[in-house]
């Protein structure tokens, strides 16, 4: 019997989960064994999983799970260097030149386990089967606007926290923007046709901002892009990869510009292909923005788990997208799982 083990997230400010109680009941009915760890932070309570027929395990007990269990989480594992003997489903952030990714792959090599990276679960047309993109863009645009509002009042953006739903987020953000006493800022979204860009544009529109929307056609010439500097906000929704243009080079810091806030929703500062190389580390919920230039100010928002700002909505959306693939875990040698394992194997050869 295929055994799926849903671990508790161990990263701070991470309340999402990739499987809902309803989805768990579906998998159990299809013949899978499902274990769900207790969690002090998960936005969806454990009682729903218990009622669905899941086995309940202690929080963070996954290292002692049966060797044939498939460990399923979202964000990264504790960086303790221990070998990883299990099969893991998660966002590994290890296949795009991230410098920290090599250490994770070394742990899989030492333990003999396998990484099925959620970012690389793709269909036969190489399209991702599930993504948090819409909510990443939505929340990323919201926090970027909060950073802009704080900047207008001469202060740093205060810490952010989860919201019970998007209506509460919109109401809070509206108060922040109104408190500036200024018209709504201008914004440009790059990657606007994708899931992330659609979410970012949707948030802007909800707040009375009509963003400039660019995608591949507008950026194909490779730069420079003076239009970005002419907007108050730039929201980057394009994931770093070979060939991605540099949108805001370091030379832009001291240039004449209206640009005051960069919302790097894609957030790949650790990549050799970072399209916004004016910063080199992700920001946090406690300190959402980093100031990379003081006169005139330029702040970068680069939180790398933005969908958790709206953990229930983003979890339910993502879990619904992923469930059809989880049903096929009984046959790891075909479909999305076989393609993901092939991708893992290619990158393991580079060690």
Q: State yes or no: is 93 an active-site residue.
A: yes
Q: State yes or no: is 75 an active-site residue.
A: yes
User: Per the residue annotation, which of 75, 86, 293, 347 is the catalytic one?
Assistant: 75
| Angle of CA points 32, 59, 332, to nearest 5° | 30
The gap from C-alpha 146 to its chain's centroid, in whole angstroms, comes to 19
User: Per the residue annotation, which of 86, 87, 93, 231 is the catalytic one?
Assistant: 93
- Active site amino acids: 75, 93
């Amino acid at each position: 019997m295929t055994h799926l083990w849903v671990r508790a997230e161990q990263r701070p400010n991470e309340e999402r989960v990739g499987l809902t109680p309803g989805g768990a009941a579906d998998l159990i009915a299809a013949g899978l064994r499902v274990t769900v760890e207790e969690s002090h932070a998960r936005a969806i309570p454990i009682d729903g999983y218990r009622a669905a027929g899941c086995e309940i395990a202690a929080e963070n007990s996954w290292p002692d799970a049966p060797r044939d269990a498939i460990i399923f989480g979202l964000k990264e594992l504790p960086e303790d260097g221990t070998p990883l003997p299990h099969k893991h489903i998660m966002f590994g952030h290890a296949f795009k030149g991230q410098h920290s990714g090599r250490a994770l792959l070394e742990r899989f090599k030492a333990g003999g386990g396998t990484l099925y990276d959620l970012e690389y679960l793709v269909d036969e047309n190489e399209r991702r089967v599930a993504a948090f993109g819409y909510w990443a863009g939505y929340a990323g645009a919201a926090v970027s606007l909060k950073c802009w509002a704080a900047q207008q009042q001469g202060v740093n953006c205060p810490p952010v926290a989860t919201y019970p739903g998007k209506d509460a987020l919109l109401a809070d953000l509206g108060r922040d923007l109104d408190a500036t006493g200024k018209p709504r800022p201008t914004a440009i979204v790059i990657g606007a046709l994708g899931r992330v860009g659609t979410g970012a544009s949707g948030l802007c529109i909800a707040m009375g901002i009509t963003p400039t929307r660019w995608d591949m056609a507008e950026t194909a010439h490779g730069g420079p892009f003076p239009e970005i500097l002419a907007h108050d906000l730039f929201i980057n929704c394009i994931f770093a990869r070979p060939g991605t243009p540099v949108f805001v080079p370091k030379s832009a810091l001291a240039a004449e510009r209206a640009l005051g806030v960069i919302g790097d929703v894609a957030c790949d500062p650790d990549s050799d292909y970072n399209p916004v190389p004016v910063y080199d580390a992700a920001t946090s919920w406690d300190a959402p923005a980093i100031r990379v230039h003081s006169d005139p100010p330029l702040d970068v928002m680069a939180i790398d788990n933005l969908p958790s700002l709206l953990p229930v909505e983003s979890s339910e959306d993502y879990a619904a997208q992923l469930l059809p693939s989880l049903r096929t875990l009984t046959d790891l040698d075909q479909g999305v799982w076989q393609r993901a394992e092939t991708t893992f194997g290619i990158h393991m050869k580079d060690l």
